[in-house]
Structure 1
Amino acid sequence: MNSGRKQRISDAFGAAADHYDDHAGPQRAAAALVADLAHRQMPGPVERILEIGCGTGILTRDIQRRWPAAELVVTDLSPEMLAKAAKGGLVAGRFLPMDGEAPVFEGEWFDLILSNLAFQWFDRLEDAIARLTKLLRPGGSLIFSTMGAESFARWRAAHEACGLTPGVPDYPRLDDLRAMLGAYEDAFAFDEDYVLSCGGARGLIAHLKGIGAVVPSDGRKPLPPRELRRVMEAFDRSGGDDAYQLLFGRVTRVALAGG
């Protein structure tokens, strides 16, 4: 069963499902890179692929195009997002409502586990990576993107200039992610920046609402209107645009000798 916070996340993304793709520029860029990394790792046929946090199916469709013969298991915390990804028969696979950090699978099942910008919603990222890695077959890879600590730096700075704490979650630094992956024999992480030309605070807020990313960190509440206006004015004075820091990670389960 979802925790209260996870249910709020599911509800927020469910409400955004019908218009998510209109606001998903960074998400498309990250999905393309996840798929490219996976294809370089596994250029030939694979038997079974798990996707964590499919959203509207941006990565899902790319996965099926690259590995059309693979058994594809597609999951998301939001039933509405899952239905959107499955709609229209564009993807053949098993669609399963699931919290990605609490997978319902056990044992070495998958050749690839892929995820695009879902891991930032996990409560315990390091534990989730360990749990998912155990689902890989020897030689299989977990490849994912997630948000980095430098995301929305100008929006955070605008809050700080007003003496306020932003509701944006505290994402990991690249060094944090590299330290998590340092426990694995074959793993790496890197980052990419994506400039978000939002044209001011109203555009940034519309973007975040459009993709459903509106659930604040635990213990943080939405700002009262007066304080929000102060932050928006400070943000607009800073230039009115912001950026994503996208973190990418890959963990490959080392194949047994002679395997």
Structure 2
Amino acid sequence: MVKSDPADGGGRKQQIADAFGRAARSYDDAAAPQRQAAALVADLAAQQRLPERPRILEVGCGTGILTRHIRAHWPDADLVASDLSPDMVGQAARGAMIAGTFLSMDGEVPPFDGPWFDLILSSLAFQWFSDLPTAIERLAGLLRPGGSLFFSTMGADSFAEWRAAHAAVGESAGTPDYPDLAALRSMLATFPDAFAFDEHWDHDFGGAKGFLAHLKGIGATVPTGDHAVLTPARLRSVMTAFNTTGGTVTYHILFGRVTRIAA
């Protein structure tokens, strides 16, 4: 059972969980940008000084891409790897090759109370949250003194080419409105020790057909709530406009860190 934010009503979160569940077996083959982001999150976190056997929480583990980095950096960690999708959690538990607890949960409402973790990691999951500032505050509250939250999430320039192709034919894309770097820095400004930066990565999926296959392969198929599904003819027009401009797509990734000041 997916534990969701009551304000969400469970509906959209369940749609997201179902979409990622359907993609559990195809995800790794389709997830080139996701692997890139997870590696950078892990490398950033590896600079953190941790206890001998740290307590680590991973939010949005998916199939275990970041989880495997955690195993490499902290083989003795007391790990909880979690995801909204039970199918993703099952896939990660089978493939991560690490001892730990694998838990299906909504990262916005983690079932933990008070400071418990030395490290919380998440890569490309926060963009699915309904209230990102509140979620970051809740997760930061689970850090022990000296502990850190490291995460990546989608930025405002993501899929700009796909949005432009929609606009070129008088349509709007169902892609969510992601925050820009200034907005993320504003969210983190209330924390005494935090930083954020961004990266722009161009990916060539072989045109519109390949890009749509990529989104389906990773389970990113749930549009914004008010988006009307295009007819096949209108979708073909969008795909043609996209291919005409070169067919590459931008992943704009925001990275953030929050550290709880030690007493």
Interval containing the TM-score (normalised by the shorter chain): over 0.9
Residue 99 (structure 2) pairs with residue 92 (structure 1) = yes
> Partner of 2:22 in structure 1?
15
Residue 198 (structure 2) pairs with residue 171 (structure 1) = no
SS of the residue corresponding to residue 250 of structure 1 reads: strand
> Partner of 2:7 in structure 1?
none
SS of the residue corresponding to residue 206 of structure 1 reads: helix
The answer to whether the Cα contact below 8 Å between 1:46 and 1:111 also exists between their aligned partners in 2 is no
> Partner of 1:134 in structure 2?
141
The one of 100, 115, 124 equivalent to 1:108 is 115
SS of the residue corresponding to residue 185 of structure 1 reads: coil
The one of 159, 167, 177 equivalent to 2:166 is 159
TM-score by length of 2: 0.95
SS of the residue corresponding to residue 46 of structure 2 reads: helix
Tell me the distance in 1 between the aligned counterparts of 2:53 and 2:179.
31
Tell me the distance in 2 between the aligned counterparts of 1:89 and 1:175.
35
> Partner of 1:25 in structure 2?
32
One-letter amino acid of the structure 1 residue matched with residue 174 of structure 2: G
State how 1:1-259 maps to structure 2 within 5 Å.
1-2=3-4, 3-42=10-49, 45-88=52-95, 90-256=97-263
TM-score by length of 1: 0.96
One-letter amino acid of the structure 2 residue matched with residue 86 of structure 1: A
Deviation at 1:162, TM superposition (A): 1.3
One-letter amino acid of the structure 2 residue matched with residue 231 of structure 1: V
Tell me the distance in 2 between the aligned counterparts of 1:144 and 1:194.
17
Identity across matched positions, percent: 62
String of CA shifts for 1:16-62, please: whole Å, max 9, x gaps: 01010111110111001100111112366342000000000010011
Deviation at 1:95, TM superposition (A): 0.6
String of CA shifts for 1:56-90, please: whole Å, max 9, x gaps: 00100110221111100010000000000001571
The RMSD of aligned alpha carbons is 1.1
Relative distance call for 1:145 and 1:26 in structure 2 (3 A) is same
Unaligned 5+ runs, structure 2: 5-9
Aligned residues: 256
Unaligned 5+ runs, structure 1: none
